[in-house]
Amino acid sequence: MWRRSALLGVLGALAGWAQTTKDSPQAPQTGIQVQVNVVNVPVTVTDTQDRFITDLEKKDFKIWEDGKSVEVRYFSRDPKQAVVVGFLLDASNSARLYFKTYQEAITDLAFVLLPGDNRSKGFLAAYHTEPDFLVKPTNDGEKIAEKIRALKPGGGSAMLDTIYQACNKYFTVKGEPNEPKRVLIVVGDGHDNNSKVTLEQVLEAAQRAQVVIYAVSTVGYGFSNEGEATLVRLAEETGGRIERPLQKIHTKVSGYLSTPSDEGNYAYKVGTGQYAAELSGSLYRAITDLTGDITHQYMLGYVPPTPLTDRKFRSIKVAVNLKDTDVKLRARKGYFPPQ
């Protein structure tokens, strides 16, 4: 059984590991406001065992845009930095098998990321035959939870259309230092049979909105889904990650049942309490890992070496200067200048 208080406790413990520093020059109080075009790059750093490294300084990072070294002018590692987060849930026919389990998990995630202050906001969309935006940006996690509980799956899948519209609808890039983090959490199997836009168009929209995409795959053990590769690319290109909580659960469960099931032609059905407990624990770990990833992002900001006067893609490379330490780093691979 999921416990919201337990998740909040985990978040508190995670946040306690991080320290906060900001190194942003203060603008002189002249009464004149100047537009500063800043590219903000969220970066997550872990060790080889996926443990978050939270004590790095600005001097530990290097950034290149289109191969040119740029100065890291703005730096923050504030676990309480404002975030705009979109929850995009698969409500198509293919989501039926594990839908109730994921409803509860994502409801708890909404409460964790939206603790009720005025700093962070979240919105909710479900995708089936077409995008369905259910909750506009709000700081009230209960509004999102209420709609999630009422969702019932059915119909086709327009995942790409939903991501594309979300990026254009609810994320604003002002080009200022330390803007809110922009996050999309896609919960589904990646299958899409009803979208009008292409994956390339969606990637451009996400990179233009400077959004980090996370995915929670609902592909179960014993199944393969070509659409999951789409989730992987969306996450990798934007600096996010994909969680697969349903994979390999059976390896820790004795008496695994491989029996035919008539629930939507699903091939496997597991009816043991041990399996249910392992599934709950796997989902819990996936949610806490996502929470830690989002809260432990470093925010690096730099001024582009050339003016943002075109719409061409600009590549970004980030590196960490740590000698004798193996680390894994996640950051988006580039961006399109805002329209």
Query: Is the pLDDT score of 333 beyond 70?
Result: yes
Query: Is the pLDDT score of 250 beyond 90?
Result: no
Mean pLDDT confidence for 311-328: 90
Residue carrying structure tokens 């004798």: 324
The model's confidence at residue 236, banded by pLDDT at 50, 70 and 90, is very high
pLDDT at position 20: 37
Tell me the pLDDT tens digit for each residue of 141-175.
999 999 999 999 999 999 999 999 999 999 988 88
Mean pLDDT confidence for 287-299: 91
Cα 121 to Cα 143: distance, rounded to the nearest angstrom: 11
pLDDT at position 59: 95
pLDDT at position 73: 96
pLDDT at position 62: 97
Query: Is the pLDDT score of 90 beyond 60?
Result: yes
Domain 83-295: give its CATH architecture.
3-Layer(aba) Sandwich (3.40)
User: In the chain, what percentage of residues exceed pLDDT 70?
Assistant: 78
pLDDT at position 255: 47
Tell me the pLDDT tens digit for each residue of 14-68.
333 333 334 444 444 433 344 458 999 999 999 988 899 999 999 999 999 999 9
**pTM over cut 0.95:** no
Mean pLDDT confidence for 271-275: 54
Residue carrying structure tokens 């530990």: 60
Residue 18 corresponds to which tokens in the numbers above? 């991080």
User: In the chain, what percentage of residues exceed pLDDT 90?
Assistant: 55
DSSP bridge pairs for 300: 41, 75
Tell me the pLDDT tens digit for each residue of 96-144.
877 887 888 889 899 989 988 888 999 999 999 999 999 999 999 999 9
Of the two residues 105 and 204, the one the predictor is more confident about is 204
Average predicted confidence (pLDDT) for the chain: 82
The model's confidence at residue 6, banded by pLDDT at 50, 70 and 90, is very low
Query: Is the pLDDT score of 1 beyond 70?
Result: no
pLDDT at position 224: 62
Domain parsing of the chain, residue ranges: 17-22+37-79+297-335, 83-295
Query: Is the pLDDT score of 293 beyond 90?
Result: yes
pLDDT at position 19: 37
Query: Is the pLDDT score of 261 beyond 60?
Result: no
